[in-house]
Amino acid sequence: MLPEDGTAFYAGRGIATALYDRLFAAPSIAGDLDYYRALSAALGGRIVDAACGTGRIAKALAHPGRRILAFDSSPFFIAGLKRELATTPGMGPIAVRAARLDTFDATGAVDLIAIGYYGFAHLLTAAAREACFGRLVESLRRGGRLVIHVPRHDLLTRHVPPRELAGLSFERPLPSGGLSIRQDAESMTFDPGSGVRTIRMRYRLLRDGIALRDERAALHYAAVPPAEIEGLACRHGARIVRTMAGFRDGVDSEAVYEIERT
């Protein structure tokens, strides 16, 4: 039985969450911060980084003249971001809050809301995505933009051959102590009934090839079809003004929707 949402993977401290930015720095999302910087410069300084994770987008956009709110459902990520901001003077004002995408309290008159790097796909039911979309559009000023970044629908629903699955495995050295991190993708399945892709991962912290920690966890992503995003926009007083298959040339694995409140 699938969970109600895909956020359990990020809830507590583990190898994958403690080393999140190192493990999940995928080439497929390269260029996203430049895109958000340009969009925020054009729209204004009231910004929400929704499902912020480690606060990567919020930190990239931080500026003394901006008002940024970053929220996430993960207590581990929220606590870590608060600690980082408290010990990094001059980063710019960022308010940090614990909240879920589908129950977030609307703030009103926001210029830009970013749901970056697959956050929207962690809402595994259409009802939760509807609630999220409505709340966030309600938070925008008229003419403000909501950006939703999810994996391309057909890439989540297709069969993944063993060779491609094996390509997701790697080992990388860590900066000190002779340590390395090992990631292995053990299985990848798609449930057509729920429309959810499940990726079962194994993470090991190694020293000289010996595992100091060994953890398994499952990632769950909803395969969100373009027609669903179009319907959400129509029902909630918004329109899609731009779609992209990636943030730079040569990438076609992403689905990025720039949506304007009308």
For the residues of 132-194, what is the DSSP string, one character each? HHHHHHHHEEEEEEEEEEEE-HHHHHS---HHHHHTT-EEEE-SSTTEEEEEEEEEEEEETTT
How many angstroms separate the CA atoms of 39 and 97, rounded? 23
Name the CATH superfamily for 8-152+224-261: Vaccinia Virus protein VP39 (3.40.50.150)
- pLDDT score recorded for residue 8: 87
Judged against a pLDDT cut of 90, whether residue 255 lies above it is answered with yes
pLDDT digits (tens, 9 = 90+) for 42-101: 999 999 999 999 999 999 999 988 999 999 999 999 999 999 999 887 777 899 999 999
Judged against a pLDDT cut of 60, whether residue 1 lies above it is answered with no
pTM of the model: 0.94
pLDDT digits (tens, 9 = 90+) for 179-237: 999 999 999 999 999 999 999 999 999 998 899 999 999 999 999 999 999 999 999 99
Q: How far is CA 104 from the centre of its chain?
A: 16
How many angstroms separate the CA atoms of 82 and 86, rounded? 6
DSSP strand pairing (110-115 vs 46-50):
parallel
- pLDDT score recorded for residue 104: 86
Mean pLDDT of 122-139: 95
- pLDDT score recorded for residue 26: 87
Domain borders along the chain are: 8-152+224-261, 156-221
Q: Are 62 and 91 in contact (CB under 8 A)?
A: yes
pLDDT digits (tens, 9 = 90+) for 143-184: 999 999 999 999 999 999 999 999 999 999 998 778 999 999
In this structure, the number of other CB atoms found within 10 A of the CB of residue 202 comes to 16
List all residues 6 or more positions away from 22 whose beta carbon is below 8 Å from its beta carbon.
172, 174, 181
How many angstroms separate the CA atoms of 24 and 29, rounded? 10
